[in-house]
Structure 1
Amino acid sequence: MAKKNKFDKIINIRNKKASFEFEFLDKFVAGLALMGTEIKSIREGKVSLTEAYCYFRKGELYIKQMHIAPYSQAAHFNHDAVRERKLLLQKQELKKLENKFAEKGLSIVPVRIFINDRGLAKLEIALAKGKKIHDKRQSIKEKDAKRDLQRVAY
């Protein structure tokens, strides 16, 4: 019989708006510095990435406006829902991101948050360039064409 893992519930929360608004150039997986009740809320799936963005402060990367709902079982030890959280990356990844981020027109956008096989919360971030209106129209056309091909296949 297979060994039962306590992290069987799959958490995979995506920022769908980001792929429409931005063109992803490079992706990274970062850890998150969290408080105890924050990880419990993430495991319940109560996270919103729609307004979140990343920025550098003193050579370290932070995420702001990521909403993690307060944990329902906690009393007075609960966390602030939209506090800024530190992202954990290796030094060479931070340097690479900081150099690219300094270029005009590039942003660091959170794409998805998930729980890995060891039970740790990870955030996938992307170095992104904002799309123009005609780029958005093109992505809508591609999505429609893909959907039509799926319909024909069935």
Structure 2
Amino acid sequence: MDIRNRSAFYEYFFDDRYVAGIVLTGTEVKSLRAGKASFNDAYCIFHGDELFIRSLHIAEYSHGTFNNHDPLRERKLLLNKKELKKLQAKIKEKGYTIIPLRIFSNENNLLKMEIGLGKGKKLHDKRESIKQRDSERELKRYIK
């Protein structure tokens, strides 16, 4: 099970990546295992010394009852204090933001989230990314 944020690498340059745990309810876990998540406009924000993810849409579980979760609620991310302090210092610099990159399950079958510390790309950088991707695709076609 691996859910990726495809648009993140098009929109941002990433300096650092971290693996964080997520605080979830039971129906959220079942929905994520079914692959029902959307990263559209998701980002991370600090409340005090804790890191939360905002705008991550996890669809309601189809077999859930009245106890189903709110699809857009803020979810707490679990990191070490050292990592949180480092991220908080970087966020204060202009232009940096924390973006979720993917949700995956580790070897113990726990759900984790990979987050990246990124800086937004300008329009000309995005055009360069498209050119590079197209040239790699042409090269692969030529090799075949």
1:29 to 3, 6, 19: 19
1:150 matched to 2:133: no
The Cα shift of 1:66 comes to 0.3
Whole-Å separation in 1 of the counterparts to 2:41 and 2:127: 22
Give the secondary structure class of the aligned counterpart of 1:118: coil
Q: Identity rate of aligned residues, in percent? A: 54
Whole-Å separation in 2 of the counterparts to 1:114 and 1:51: 19
Gaps of at least 5 residues in structure 2 are none
> Structure 1: which amino acid aligns with 2:8?
A
Gaps of at least 5 residues in structure 1 are 1-10
1:131 matched to 2:99: no
> Structure 2: which amino acid aligns with 1:48?
S
The Cα shift of 1:33 comes to 0.3
Aligned to 2:97: 107
Give the secondary structure class of the aligned counterpart of 1:38: helix
Q: How many residues align?
A: 144
The Cα shift of 1:51 comes to 1.8
CA offsets, 1:112-132, max 9 Å, x none? 111112111111100000000
CA offsets, 1:109-153, max 9 Å, x none? 011111112111111100000000110011111101110111011
> Structure 2: which amino acid aligns with 1:66?
L
The Cα shift of 1:50 comes to 1.8
| 1:61-140 equivalence runs, <5 A | 61-140=51-130
1:55 matched to 2:45: yes
**TM-score scaled to structure 2, two decimals?**
0.98
Give the secondary structure class of the aligned counterpart of 1:92: helix
The Cα shift of 1:73 comes to 1.0
Aligned to 1:141: 131
For the aligned residue pairs, the C-alpha RMSD in angstroms reads 0.7
Whole-Å separation in 1 of the counterparts to 2:85 and 2:53: 17
Whole-Å separation in 2 of the counterparts to 1:60 and 1:70: 25
